[in-house]
A = this chain, B = another copy of it.
């Protein structure tokens, strides 16, 4: 955890209500950090459905392999997350460490090891000493409480400067259900330590395949639209748990993704995921500005997304934003390098509401002073219209500052 809190941190945190069937505990296992919690344990009611979306890395961590293997089996009864060590690229020892962690948690929760979901974030390549969890998880099971959401968000932080939580309510068949989520980021990745992790919980009675469909679609519109530095972690994990406890209050069981009663739930879920994803960008390593890149008029949605990512990942665009420089030439450059259909002479670019370029040249009404004033704000919107079609995309990122280099450079010499 960094000592300096991001200037883009939220001014206050929402109070997250309890979700029936979810109990939370955190602990200090001393894996890497001293004097802070580094283990999150979540106890889940019987018959909790689970869905997951994971890193696309070809070198995923041992916990990611474990979660993938156990999705679609027999639900979830416990979640164990540690910070400080990613248990990635740890070979056989890494697989054994995951198995041992699951065994400890299974014993504590009274379930099968395959019902334990695990995520790890931290250093890559260091063996994780799972023996440290012995006793810790049992004690967590005993002390777990329904309202420790901010504690949960804190225990999984690495270089994050603030805990990330969000909550929503939705009606399903006239019955209100709750969705709570926590996340950590600090980048898609972090200094020695890595990973975007997020865990979402609801009491809605939604079957696992439906939950998976909702999560997949929601992730594409939220976490998959965030980039800090174009580097993808070995360990990115987004899990969604549904205890189904709202069924007792009359909420209908949802077994089909096409069920119309999901309409509001889907909206609220997507809002919550976007909220958490934007918090991740607001806490990007060294971030001083939150940047929204909106592409319109592209040939199609995929093309728009690729162009948006090319702009959002461009070190030159990001350093210009850090420097409060309305350098739209770099936006042109980034659009040009994306490899997607673009016609220089149809391009238009805005910073906020100020159109700076149109029809292949600087806007005749361009006003340097007005644009520079806009760039001094902490929330910057860069919009590009390609003038070719109806493809649109929005992605979120942050600026690239000297602090990013400092955090990740660890100038040892």
Taking Cβ atoms with an 8 Å cutoff, the residues of A that contact B are 55-60, 86, 88-94, 123-127, 189, 192, 194, 229-234, 313-316, 319-320, 322-325, 327-330, 332-345, 347, 357, 359-362, 372, 376, 400-402, 404-406, 408-413
Contacts and interface: CB of A to CB of B under 8 A. Distances in A.
Nearest to A228: B315
A329 B404 CA distance: 18
A320 B410 contact: yes
16 contacts: A57-B333, A58-B335, A58-B337, A58-B343, A58-B344, A59-B347, A88-B329, A89-B361, A125-B362, A230-B314, A230-B315, A232-B333, A232-B336, A234-B332, A234-B336, A402-B409
A324 to B, nearest CB: 5
Given A233-B333, A342-B59, A325 B357 contact: no
A194 B314 CA distance: 14
Contact of A402 (B233, B335, B402): B402
A125 B340 CA distance: 21
A294 to B, nearest CB: 18
Contacts of A92: 361
B325 A412 contact: yes
Given A231-B315, A324-B412, A404 B405 contact: yes
A55 B336 CA distance: 10
Nearest to A122: B329
A329 B412 contact: no
A413 to B, nearest CB: 5
A361 B405 contact: no
A125 B357 contact: yes
A409 B322 contact: yes
A332 B315 CA distance: 22
Contacts of A91: 345, 359-361
Given A89-B344, A322-B411, A333 B124 contact: yes
Contacts of A57: 333, 336-337
A83 to B, nearest CB: 15
A208 to B, nearest CB: 27
A400 B127 CA distance: 28
A327 B89 contact: no
A89 B360 CA distance: 5
B232 A315 contact: no
Contacts of A336: 55, 57-60, 232, 234
